[in-house]
Structure 1
Amino acid sequence: MALKLAPKVKLNDGNEMPVLGLGTWRSYENDAEFSVKCAIDCGYRHIDTAYVYENEAEVGRAVRAKIQEGVVKREDLFIVTKLASHHHDPNVVEKACRESLSNLQLDYVDLYLIHFPVGMDFDYLDTWKAMEKLVPLGLTKSIGISNFNSEQTKRIVENCTIKPVTNQVECHPGFNQQKLIDFSKKYDIIITAYCPLARPKPEMKLPSFLFDEKTEAIASKHGKTATQVVLRYLIQHGVVPIPKSVNPQRIKQNFDVFDFELNSDEMKVMDSFNTKHRTIPFSQLRTAKHFPFNIEF
């Protein structure tokens, strides 16, 4: 029986990205390698990491192992990593990308993102222009941004040669980013959702939307878990969730969301959980130049 894969969304540069991926933030050392191997075996083809996660080498080992086993070919995978904030100097961008590729032991990544608009004393627009040079060099197929607000995104779009294909931001039912999604659609920029489950704390029944009886009722109706309902909601909400887990059962469960659909009333229920409250506010950077979260979206 053929392994079921995630559908793909077409990016504004013609490349395609699976609509669900594996996040690896805070997946360290053996956990990162194990989770990526498990995910690929389950059908994941979209793997997300970053230089600052300090696990690119482990992610790369897992990817190479699965290629060597014949489970996947390199071209089957969509590998994402990110430029760290201390690498925003335009003269350092290419070197930083090559370092990430060396860590991953890959010739190219499918998507390279500016991880955060705050970057020492450098203007993110100058950093973006250096990012654009990576595409013709073959170091990455697509480029994008992460944690950028609407004004910063618009500034890049109005001054770029290559448009960002995605903006990776926190997004979940409690912070559903509807205004940023609507704004990004105007520029054909996909929103990727990190923290899609808002870092669950079951002992505290947080986030509330994951443990709410309305979510549980929807899950029961479809024979799914509340977590699966949330991920399905996000996909239908028009974003690409990248849930993180190192638990094999949950990794598999998170991927099992393509055999049901929420109706419009169920989507409205999930929309109703939006409190506009961030799980990760980056408060320590609030006074920094180019801090993105001082405006509504």
Structure 2
Amino acid sequence: MGVTQIPEISVGSCDRTMPVIGMGTSADPPADLETAKAAILEAIGAGYRHFDTAFAYGSEKPLGEAIAEALRLGLVKSRDELFITTKLWSSFAEKDMIVPAMKMSLSNLQLEYVDMYLIHWPVRLSKEVKKMPVEKREYILPLDLKSVWEAMEECKNLGLTKGIGVSNFSCKKLEELLATAKIPPAVNQVEMNPIWQQKQLREYCNAKGIHISAYSPLGANNTKWGDNRVIGCNVLEEIAKSRGKTSAQVSLRWLYEQGVSIVTKSYNKQRMRENVDIFDWSLTEEESKRIAQLPQKKGVLYANIIGPYDICLEIDAEI
């Protein structure tokens, strides 16, 4: 198989176009540096140009090493060919900590700038938090969205990132953010797949010019929070069988047809290539209708990850 050309799209207030499929680097349990680096180099060889990392994933350093190696080997001619997304961790979500946190991520990545910097979670965590679930309610704090976003805007104005956005934000949180933002968020990266279609949030973001990027596009199977509800979905399996595709390809193609970008993760060489082989065919109207009617179930719940505290249950209830 050759290198797949992944289409690029414009996203809101970002200064450059973004490839519609990115490779995620969050592994549970985390991969060692060499494994992660080798997988990223393999992905570059397969045509991936967008890589999604976060301080919390512990994958910024291996991604940085892989980028340096790809440039040395001539797999990419310049850094500009790559689109790199990283995220502000919740322990640094205070105005005066954000530019230093951004610089720390750049140092890990060995880069002068990233292409997209996102607020990872819509909460702040105190410095005492060392593991999940969080031991005490008082360690979970509301985000001072106005001042946090001002510091995110400063990161963009300083040229540390080409675009700024958010992750896991509901319509309600976005409404609050847009009320004071000078630069609107370019992206909202959220859980989205055929079993959690995010219809209301998508309509809201479309109306506001915020691009949706879908993580867990295949239901995050084999992780603590995910399961096989997407990959094992009968409807997707039937469509896949009739089209000579995999359930994963049907799910990813469906997402692409909704006009969102996708962050998909596989360190398996064959699946890595299958995941980008979705551009030369499309779903029929009948197939799309069947997917639209699937029962819906949210997978990522803060009550499960952080703990069943009021603030988490409130966020989980927001659409």
Same fold (TM over 0.5): yes
1:170 — aligned with what? Answer: 191
Per-residue CA deviations over 1:227-274 (Å, capped at 9, x if unaligned) read 101111111122211111111111111111111111222111112224
Question: 1:53 aligned to 2:75?
Answer: no
Distance 1:274 1:137 in 2: 45
Give the TM-score, by structure 1 length: 0.92
5 Å-filtered alignment, 1:185-224, equals 185-200=206-221, 207-224=228-245
Question: 1:110 aligned to 2:115?
Answer: yes
5 Å-filtered alignment, 1:107-256, equals 107-120=112-125, 121=141, 122-200=143-221, 207-256=228-277
Per-residue CA deviations over 1:21-52 (Å, capped at 9, x if unaligned) read 10111152223212211111100111000000
1:10 — aligned with what? Answer: 10
Distance 2:312 2:180 in 1: 17
The residue identity in structure 1 corresponding to 2:19 is P
Question: 1:36 aligned to 2:2?
Answer: no
* Shift in alpha-carbon separation, 1:71–1:210, aligned structure 2, 3 A: same
Tell me the C-alpha RMSD between the 2 structures.
1.9
The residue identity in structure 2 corresponding to 1:21 is G
Distance 1:265 1:136 in 2: 47
Structure 1 residue matching 2:34: 3-state secondary structure: helix
> Which ranges of structure 1 fall in alignment gaps of 5 or more residues?
none
Identity %: 36
Distance 1:2 1:256 in 2: 11
Structure 2 residue matching 1:91: 3-state secondary structure: helix
Distance 1:288 1:91 in 2: 27
Structure 2 residue matching 1:169: 3-state secondary structure: strand
* Preserved CA contact (<8 Å) 1:191 1:240: yes
* Preserved CA contact (<8 Å) 2:163 2:186: yes
1:287 — aligned with what? Answer: 309
The residue identity in structure 1 corresponding to 2:62 is E
Question: 1:94 aligned to 2:107?
Answer: no
* Shift in alpha-carbon separation, 1:102–1:288, aligned structure 2, 3 A: farther
Give the TM-score, by structure 2 length: 0.86
Distance 1:208 1:85 in 2: 29
2:23 — aligned with what? Answer: 22
| 1:125 CA drift (Å) | 2.4
Structure 1 residue matching 2:188: 3-state secondary structure: strand
* Preserved CA contact (<8 Å) 1:56 1:104: yes
* Shift in alpha-carbon separation, 1:245–1:150, aligned structure 2, 3 A: same
The residue identity in structure 2 corresponding to 1:70 is G
Distance 1:142 1:71 in 2: 25
* Preserved CA contact (<8 Å) 1:149 1:292: no
* Preserved CA contact (<8 Å) 2:302 2:316: no
Distance 2:34 2:295 in 1: 35
Range moving further from structure 2, 212-221 or 150-159: 212-221
* Shift in alpha-carbon separation, 1:285–1:212, aligned structure 2, 3 A: closer
Distance 1:235 1:172 in 2: 10
* Shift in alpha-carbon separation, 1:88–1:213, aligned structure 2, 3 A: closer
Q: How many residues align?
A: 292
The residue identity in structure 2 corresponding to 1:131 is M
The residue identity in structure 1 corresponding to 2:94 is D
* Preserved CA contact (<8 Å) 1:286 1:294: no
| 1:16 CA drift (Å) | 1.1
Structure 1 segments, 4+ long, off by >6 Å, are: none
